[in-house]
Amino acid sequence: MVTVIADPPGTRRLPVWLFPLLSVLFFTSGAAALTYQVLWLRLLGLIFGVTVYAASTVLAVFMCGLAIGSEVAGRIARRARRPLACFGAAEILIGIFGVLTPAALAGTGSLYAFVHPYLPDATWPLTAARLVCAFLVLIVPTCLMGASLPFVIRSALVSSESGALGHNAAFLYAVNTAGAVVGALGTGFYLIGGLGISDTTRLAASLNVLVGLAAVLASRALPEFTPAPSVPSDAMTTGGATSARRRAAVLVALGISGFGALALEILWFRLLVLFVAATTYAFTTMLATVLLGIAAGSAVVTPLMRRGWNWMLVLAGLEAAVAFATLGSFAFAASEASGSMVRASLHAALLPTVFMGMAFPVGLRLWAAGADAAESARRVATAYAVNVCGAILGSLVAGFLLLPWIGLRSGVIAVAALFLVAAWLLAWVSRPRRAALAAIAMWSAAFALADSFPADPFSAVIGRRYPGNERLFFRDEGVQTTVTIHMRPRGEPTGRVLYLDGLHQADDSADMVRVHRQIGHLAMALHPSPVDAAVIGLGGGATAGAVATHHGADVDVVELSPGVIRAALWFSHVNGNVPARTNVTFRVDDGRNYLLLSPKSYDVITADIIQPTHAGAGNLYSVEYFRLVRRALRPDGLVLQWIGHREETQYKLIMRTFLHVFPETTLWQDGTLMVGTKRRLVLDRGAFERKIADPGTREALASVELDSFDALLARYTAGPRELQRFVGEGALLTDDRPLVEFHRSLPAGDRLVDLSGLRGDVTRHLVN
């Protein structure tokens, strides 16, 4: 819908084509902005790790830039005679800085690696260093992004009529957010897998430059702007004077709304992974759902903005509606047995975000009421900056405080209650005052509704996702992940089951424990005299426990979540009591980040089973990661990498990438385990027999039928020559193109890999 605004006397009507053009340009700008956000989060995850602390730091810098840019641009837009040209210049500069960010972020990684040894080994100093490094690169382009809204709003306004401001702001906000939906979905589902990060960055930069050039050219066909005469609004006036108290209440409500929106986004992500596997597509779907709801809400409220309603009470009602919708959606989502990531996302987030999308333009109308067109743009910028600052705080509080302190259920209730606080505040300063009583009544009703929630959403959802009579007896809702342990009744295949964010990670069944132990024992058996070993990922601890049982071994276990380390205590009966072993050191960190920054070298590096299709796992299957592993190995060291049995294209991609870094790769355990070495693998019968002379080592290896040298040789599948012929020439997994993590870019209907003809001669590796 496009509305031509009636100009007050003395002003010049703008061309009828201006508003449609602004809509197209702002839509494209929103798509490019979300593309950058997705790409930058991924690139900085390669440098700082995929921890919540690192992601929150990056998001905080991104939001901070938007807030600063919006506030500064609002002051410029108030005086700008050609605001559309200013918008165009900002877009062109975004494109220029955007295309340079990958190289700049790589330099940031070098800076971070340089200062890291001088920092205390604690969370907050490291977070501060990440914040500074990210700030140096992202602050300029994000400030320019934040400048877009004030310039576009000023370009669309020639009058100070509050209905015109509300209408145009609502429509443009909806259009920009709709573009963000397209950017998020396109980048997450198609562009990274199809084009790669570098080409997608160039595409986004090209869009910015095209938008900028179009805006600059269009501005030359427009008259120069002059401040319009101030026309008072009846939305927030009493006897002709605007109430400062009411305007302040609106600004506070906008800040609370920003806080609640980002806090809920964090909490909804944590709820979503209880329904579906934590793939990159699940997170993209949730982000797109949040943006879609906001865009839809803004579009719904657009045609209503010219009506002479009591907009203060309308805003209070919308804030209360967000609170009720949040509670209702959470209760409904927690009781829904769907395994669809789209349905789960819609149930959890769509309705509350629709009300959020309606509330923001209403708040802008109220906050800017009574100002002329130029001043309105400045006030819109201030309101947007306050909303974004609230969002920064909300993301940090939800991840670092609400989840670990009070958990998902209570966290959702607390954020919903905060929206009711905003509703109560707005109702209190509105007319009639009796509306405050209604807000208090809504407060009581909300908490009465909260009693109908499932007592434990994790047990309720997991009970449907994994059929079986399981009883929860351990839960740790940490900053990084939610760790739960369930007990199955006697007679079931397993006793204790470990879930990470609702995803099955390990259990104590004989078959599961044997697989994990083989990973640890085979690596230690193949090396002639392993002393220092590293295990990436703990899981139930069986792999790390197997490595640690070998005589003389010192083991570093790198685990992302402290909750997993605490949970491993409940699996001591199958992991050799690895949490209490004196030769084991736990390092809470991202595995890739640890290898990037640690100066230590190892004889053996292995990992717990990490599915390459899960979100963030592509960072541990790329050429760049395997090079970090190779760098951390001693000259005679080896790395054992699980590959499993999977679709042929995925299998060959992983193996080809591993072979690219480790040309002397050998394949073991029916083709499920790859062993990489810096030089040809040598198998020494004498060294192995000296190893099993130790009773503890002999007993450990016997637990996985590796109690003799011949049993070890029997696990051999193929050598480097056979593997090179098998995988052939083709694509590699890189940080730029993580094809297996973004597996929708691979051929559909791929068959399971056939290894029946892959056989090699192990005698080539024996000592003469």
Which CATH number fits the domain that encloses residue 715? 3.40.50.150
DSSP symbols for 601-651 = -EEEEEE----TTSTTGGGGSSHHHHHHHHHHEEEEEEEEEE--S-BHHHH
Give 275's pLDDT tier (boundaries 50, 70, 90): confident
Sign of the Cα torsion 564, 566, 571, 575 reads positive
Give 75's pLDDT tier (boundaries 50, 70, 90): confident
The two three-digit tokens of residue 113, written as one number: 């690696």
Whole-number pLDDT of residue 461: 64
Does residue 63 sit within a domain? yes
- Bigger pLDDT: 668 vs 395: 668
Whole-number pLDDT of residue 452: 60
For 610-756, list the strands marked E by DSSP.
633-642, 666-668, 673-677, 716-718
- Cα maximum dimension of the chain: 102
CB distance 347 to 325 below 8 Å: no
Does residue 4 sit within a domain? no
Q: CA-CA distance, 326 to 415, in Å (whole number)?
A: 9
β-strand partners of 606: 535
Residue among 681, 711, 708 at smallest CA distance from 693 = 708
Does residue 206 sit within a domain? yes
Whole-number pLDDT of residue 11: 44
Whole-number pLDDT of residue 165: 62
- Bigger pLDDT: 537 vs 427: 537
Q: CA-CA distance, 160 to 336, in Å (whole number)?
A: 48
Question: Are residues 176 and 286 both part of a single domain?
Answer: no
* Mean pLDDT on 346-362: 92
Angle at 709 between CA 707 and CA 714, to 5 degrees: 95
Question: Are residues 499 and 607 both part of a single domain?
Answer: no
Question: Are residues 485 and 605 both part of a single domain?
Answer: no
Q: CA-CA distance, 516 to 518, in Å (whole number)?
A: 5
Q: Is 586 helix (H, G, I), strand (E, B) or coil?
A: strand
Question: Using the 8-state DSSP alphabet, how is residue 348 labeled?
Answer: I
Give the best-scoring range by mean pLDDT among 93-102, 146-155, 757-766. 93-102
Q: Is the pLDDT of residue 618 over 70?
A: yes
* Mean pLDDT on 680-686: 93
Neighbouring residues of 7: CB distance < 8 A, sequence distance ≥ 6: 13, 158, 159
Does residue 9 sit within a domain? no
Q: Residue 258 corresponds to which amino acid?
A: G
Q: In which domain, by residue range, is 446 found? A: 243-455
Does residue 130 sit within a domain? yes
β-strand partners of 487: 471, 496
Q: CA-CA distance, 696 to 711, in Å (whole number)?
A: 18
Q: Is 341 helix (H, G, I), strand (E, B) or coil?
A: helix
Whole-number pLDDT of residue 754: 93
Whole-number pLDDT of residue 241: 35
CA 751 from centre of chain: 31
How many CA atoms lie within 13 Å of 15's alpha carbon, on the beta-carbon side?
12
Note if the bond before 125 is cis, omega within 30 degrees: no
What is the residue-averaged pLDDT of the chain?
85
Q: CA-CA distance, 475 to 566, in Å (whole number)?
A: 10
Whole-number pLDDT of residue 627: 97
Of how many residues is the chain composed? 768
* Mean pLDDT on 717-738: 95
β-strand partners of 587: 558
Question: Using the 8-state DSSP alphabet, how is residue 619 labeled?
Answer: G
Sign of the Cα torsion 439, 441, 444, 447 reads negative
What CATH code is carried by the domain that includes residue 107? 1.20.1250.20
CA 276 from centre of chain: 15
Q: What is the pLDDT of residues 17-26, one digit of tens each?
A: 888 899 999 9
Q: CA-CA distance, 172 to 208, in Å (whole number)?
A: 17
Show which of 486, 504, 522 is a domain's final residue: 504
Q: Is the pLDDT of residue 390 over 60?
A: yes
Q: Is the pLDDT of residue 464 over 70?
A: no
Give 517's pLDDT tier (boundaries 50, 70, 90): very high
Can you tell me which residue has the tokens 């009506």?
307
Neighbouring residues of 740: CB distance < 8 A, sequence distance ≥ 6: 612, 613, 618, 621, 650, 653, 654, 733, 746
Give 436's pLDDT tier (boundaries 50, 70, 90): low
Q: Is the pLDDT of residue 495 over 90?
A: no
Angle at 268 between CA 288 and CA 360, to 5 degrees: 60
Question: Are residues 525 and 645 both part of a single domain?
Answer: yes
Question: Are residues 582 and 681 both part of a single domain?
Answer: yes
Between strands 503-507 and 471-477, the pairing is unpaired
Q: Is the pLDDT of residue 238 over 50?
A: no
Whole-number pLDDT of residue 749: 80
Q: Is 437 helix (H, G, I), strand (E, B) or coil?
A: helix
Show which of 420, 436, 455 is a domain's final residue: 455
* Mean pLDDT on 200-227: 89
Q: Is the pLDDT of residue 568 over 70?
A: yes
- The percent of residues in the chain predicted with pLDDT above 90, rounded, is 48
Q: Is the pLDDT of residue 577 over 50?
A: yes
Helix, strand, coil percentages for the chain (3-state, nearest 5): 65, 10, 25
* Mean pLDDT on 81-93: 93
Q: Is the pLDDT of residue 519 over 50?
A: yes
Report CA-CA distances (Å) from 30 to 18, 208, 489, 699, 758.
18, 10, 52, 61, 50
β-strand partners of 718: 667
Does residue 651 sit within a domain? yes
CB distance 656 to 617 below 8 Å: no
* Mean pLDDT on 216-237: 63
Q: How many domains does the chain have?
A: 4
- The neighbour count for residue 124, using CB atoms within 10 Å, is 9
* Mean pLDDT on 268-290: 84
Least confident of 10-14, 223-227, 280-284, 361-365: 10-14
The two three-digit tokens of residue 203, written as one number: 């595409």
Does residue 8 sit within a domain? no
The two three-digit tokens of residue 259, written as one number: 């806080």
Give 27's pLDDT tier (boundaries 50, 70, 90): very high
Whole-number pLDDT of residue 574: 94
β-strand partners of 497: 486, 507
Neighbouring residues of 214: CB distance < 8 A, sequence distance ≥ 6: 21, 25, 88
Between strands 602-607 and 532-536, the pairing is parallel
* Mean pLDDT on 309-321: 89
Q: Is the pLDDT of residue 214 over 60?
A: yes
Residue among 146, 368, 60, 410 at smallest CA distance from 235 = 368
Between strands 471-477 and 482-487, the pairing is antiparallel
Q: How many helices (H) and strands (E) does the chain have?
A: 27, 14
Q: Report CA Rg, the chain.
A: 29
β-strand partners of 752: 647
* Mean pLDDT on 2-15: 46
Give 716's pLDDT tier (boundaries 50, 70, 90): very high
Q: Is the pLDDT of residue 103 over 70?
A: yes
Question: Are residues 321 and 341 both part of a single domain?
Answer: yes
Question: Are residues 58 and 170 both part of a single domain?
Answer: yes
The two three-digit tokens of residue 246, written as one number: 């009411």
**SS3 string of 231-299?**
CCCCCCEECCEECHHHHHHHHHHHHHHHHHHHHHHHHHHHHHCCCCCCCHHHHHHHHHHHHHHHHHHHH
Question: Are residues 474 and 408 both part of a single domain?
Answer: no
* Mean pLDDT on 569-588: 94
Does residue 50 sit within a domain? yes
Residue among 535, 566, 529 at smallest CA distance from 548 = 535
Helices (H), ranges, 49-161: 52-79, 83-115, 123-156
The pTM of the full predicted model, rounded to 2 decimals, is: 0.90
Buried b / exposed e across 654-663, counting CB within 10 Å, b at 16+? bbbbbbbbbe
Question: Are residues 715 and 756 both part of a single domain?
Answer: yes
Between strands 532-536 and 554-559, the pairing is parallel
Show which of 445, 476, 504 is a domain's final residue: 504
Whole-number pLDDT of residue 160: 44
Q: Is the pLDDT of residue 16 over 70?
A: yes
β-strand partners of 507: 497
Question: Are residues 499 and 550 both part of a single domain?
Answer: no
Question: Are residues 443 and 481 both part of a single domain?
Answer: no
Give 240's pLDDT tier (boundaries 50, 70, 90): very low
Q: What is the pLDDT of residues 631-676, one digit of tens each?
A: 999 999 999 999 999 999 999 999 999 999 999 999 999 999 999 9
Q: CA-CA distance, 377 to 5, in Å (whole number)?
A: 16
Give 702's pLDDT tier (boundaries 50, 70, 90): very high
Q: Residue 633 corresponds to which amino acid?
A: L
Q: Is 519 helix (H, G, I), strand (E, B) or coil?
A: helix
Whole-number pLDDT of residue 10: 41
Q: Is the pLDDT of residue 494 over 80?
A: no
Question: Are residues 757 and 656 both part of a single domain?
Answer: yes
